[in-house]
């Protein structure tokens, strides 16, 4: 449960009620952008459940296609998996179903898996994108995994390609289209905590309770 006094400086009861409504945050992120770390920090502050890998595994098991989970996880293509189209389609349907169930339950942060598209237009959902310049991300990956900068850059570029292609192939959109997001956070010069502050602030201002498709109220109050 969100603490209204901390994130609601105006103290308006109606807004407080809105904050306490079950909310969902989707986070789209680039490799090395600190997206998962930011998701974790936001989840810890708001008391929201952070769902990442679990969504992939649950959907694959539900679809009866466990190897598709491995293909989804293997974004660098190390395992050379190429599941059948029918298996992937079945998995994608399961991803959508699991994601919608989780969003209906509320108080959840969904990391990746095209949440910004699957839950697009759904009231009470804040769509966030976490980015950083390629060279910054490569340096982070090099440090985190103890690999050379060249190898890290190759990882980042392969990951970008994989995620961009996934969005394009299955959701017919550009992953860097700013219209898909309520908030885009560049972590090049922001700490995880600072990025989490910004997202929590957006949540506290009631953004998740505004229908994405409502043309009459499309700004943060």
Partner 1 sequence: MSNPERRVPAFAHPAEEMFARILDFYGVAWEYEPRTFPLEWDEQGNVTEAFTPDFYLPDQDLYVELTTLRPRLASHKNRRLRRMKELYPDINVKLFKRREMRDLMLKYGLLQEAGRIQGTAAQPPSKDHDPETA
The site for partner 1 (CB under 8 A) is made up of: 53, 57, 60-61, 66-67, 69-70, 73-74, 76-81, 145, 147-148, 150-152, 154-155, 158
120/24 Cα distance (integer angstroms): 12
Give 53 or 174: the residue with its C-beta nearer to partner 1.
53
In the complex, least distance from residue 154 CB atom to partner 1, rounded to whole angstroms: 5
In the complex, least distance from residue 183 CB atom to partner 1, rounded to whole angstroms: 27
Give 81 or 104: the residue with its C-beta nearer to partner 1.
81
In the complex, least distance from residue 143 CB atom to partner 1, rounded to whole angstroms: 12
In the complex, least distance from residue 65 CB atom to partner 1, rounded to whole angstroms: 9
144/155 Cα distance (integer angstroms): 12
Q: Classify burial at 70, counting beta carbons within 10 Å of its beta carbon; exposed 0-12, middle 13-18, buried 19 or more.
A: middle
H/E segment holding residue 122: none
**8 Å CB contact between 73 and 59:** no
Give 7 or 91: the residue with its C-beta nearer to partner 1.
91
Give 84 or 194: the residue with its C-beta nearer to partner 1.
84
Give 60 or 102: the residue with its C-beta nearer to partner 1.
60
In the complex, least distance from residue 116 CB atom to partner 1, rounded to whole angstroms: 23
Residue length of the chain? 221
92/88 Cα distance (integer angstroms): 6
Q: Distance between alpha carbon 195 and the CA centroid of its chain, in Å?
A: 14
């Amino acid at each position: 449960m969100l603490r209204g006094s901390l994130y609601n400086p105006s103290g308006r009861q109606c807004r407080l009620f809105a904050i306490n409504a079950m909310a969902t945050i989707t986070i789209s992120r680039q490799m090395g952008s600190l997206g998962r770390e930011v998701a974790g920090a936001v989840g810890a502050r708001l008391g929201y459940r952070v769902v990442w890998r679990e969504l992939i595994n649950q959907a694959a098991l539900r679809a009866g296609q466990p190897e598709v989970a491995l293909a989804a996880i293997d974004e660098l293509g190390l395992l050379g998996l190429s599941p059948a189209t029918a298996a992937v389609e079945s998995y994608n349907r399961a991803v959508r179903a699991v994601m919608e169930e989780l969003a209906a339950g509320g108080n959840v942060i969904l990391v990746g898996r095209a949440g910004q598209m699957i839950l697009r237009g759904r009231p009470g959902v804040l769509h966030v994108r976490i980015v950083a310049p390629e060279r910054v991300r490569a340096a982070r990956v090099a440090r985190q995994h103890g690999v050379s900068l060249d190898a890290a850059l190759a990882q980042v570029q392969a990951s970008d390609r994989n995620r961009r292609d996934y969005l394009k192939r299955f959701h017919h959109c550009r992953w860097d289209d700013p219209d898909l997001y309520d908030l885009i956070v560049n972590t090049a010069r922001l700490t995880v905590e600072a990025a989490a502050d910004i997202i929590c602030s957006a949540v506290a201002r009631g953004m998740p309770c505004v229908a994405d498709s409502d043309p009459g109220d499309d700004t943060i109050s």
